């Protein structure tokens, strides 16, 4: 990262720390998650403090939360697949059930050694997505753990990386734009082969001689409303995330990050939307 980028992020981090950083209290993976597929390729280690997912030619692997959430501030520290991981995808997302599901996505499109990772984000409401934004990260996400977070309340959804907001999806129901607010979601993650499209549009295939590919997880925290039989139970008191909104300064700071690191925005892809951009694209 160049000196200018370092300065930008230093300024933003200092400004945003008091708003978004809070002490991390890790929920152990054996208590909070089930490994749902992979034939032993997903492992819970270190007395539940660490979880790893692996991918080889035969299969990938994945896990899901035991609980469902309806609004919250959810953090996970992830160390992505190192080395030549082109063709593989690591996902980390919230999703509800059914044909008209809601979903909040992080996907990490893995890379050739030395190339930047692409972090793909998306929001689905009532089964409709097509709201992709992609970013290059300002650090090597394979060298150490970094925190990837979702803040989700009645006002907006915020994607954060190490406490820095990179994307906001506002509740614009008053403009007849659906917003996820009724369907509880589980947290999911998976590591799988997607070399048909993941790296340079599928031009770079998975090099199976580098397998197994492994991603690691630690320090999960869900300060959230947990849904029991369809009724959410929220934390005691009034957590700050529940009423959080961006002020103008915070929105402007986020746009600085987007100008520097965003590499795709559905709201500027005129080829994809020849009849006009989605309605939310014109609302600030």
Catalytic residues: 103, 107
Q: Tell the residue number behind the tokens 């970094």, with chain if given.
A: 146
Strand order in the sheet with 88-95: 33-37, 61-65, 186-193, 88-95, 103-109, 118-124, 133-136, 262-265
Query: What Å distances lie between residue 275 and 158, 270, 272, 282, CA to CA?
Result: 28, 8, 9, 14
Q: Where are the alpha helices (DSSP H) in the chain?
A: 3-20, 29-32, 240-243, 248-261
> Considering just the CA atoms, what is the radius of gyration of the chain in Å?
18
Element spanning 104, H or E: strand 103-109
For the chain, how far is it from start to end, CA to CA, in angstroms? 30
């Amino acid at each position: 990262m160049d000196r200018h980028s370092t300065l930008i992020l230093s300024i933003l981090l200092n400004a945003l720390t008091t708003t978004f950083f809070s002490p991390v209290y890790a929920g152990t993976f054996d208590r909070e998650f089930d490994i749902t597929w992979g034939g032993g390729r997903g492992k819970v280690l270190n007395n539940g403090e660490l979880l790893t997912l692996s991918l080889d030619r035969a299969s990938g692997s994945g896990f899901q939360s035991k609980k469902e959430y309806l609004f919250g501030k959810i953090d996970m520290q992830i160390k992505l697949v190192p080395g030549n991981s082109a063709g593989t995808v690591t996902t980390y997302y919230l999703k509800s059930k059914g044909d008209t599901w809601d979903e909040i996505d992080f996907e990490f499109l893995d890379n050739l050694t030395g190339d930047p990772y692409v972090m793909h984000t998306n929001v689905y409401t009532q089964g409709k997505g097509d709201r992709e934004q992609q970013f290059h990260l300002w650090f090597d996400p394979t060298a150490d753990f970094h925190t990837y977070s979702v803040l989700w309340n009645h006002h907006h959804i915020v994607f954060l990386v190490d406490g820095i907001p990179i994307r906001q999806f506002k509740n614009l129901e008053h403009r007849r734009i659906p917003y996820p607010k009724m369907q509880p979601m589980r947290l999911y993650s998976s590591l799988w082969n997607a070399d048909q499209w993941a790296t340079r549009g599928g031009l770079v295939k998975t090099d199976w001689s580098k397998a197994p590919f492994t991603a690691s997880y630690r320090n999960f925290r869900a300060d959230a409303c947990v849904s029991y039989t369809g009724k959410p139970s929220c934390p005691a008191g009034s957590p700050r995330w529940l009423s959080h909104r961006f002020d103008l300064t915070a929105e402007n700071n986020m746009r600085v990050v987007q100008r520097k690191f965003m590499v795709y925005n559905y709201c500027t892809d005129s080829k994809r939307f020849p009849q006009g951009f989605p309605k939310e694209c014109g609302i600030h």
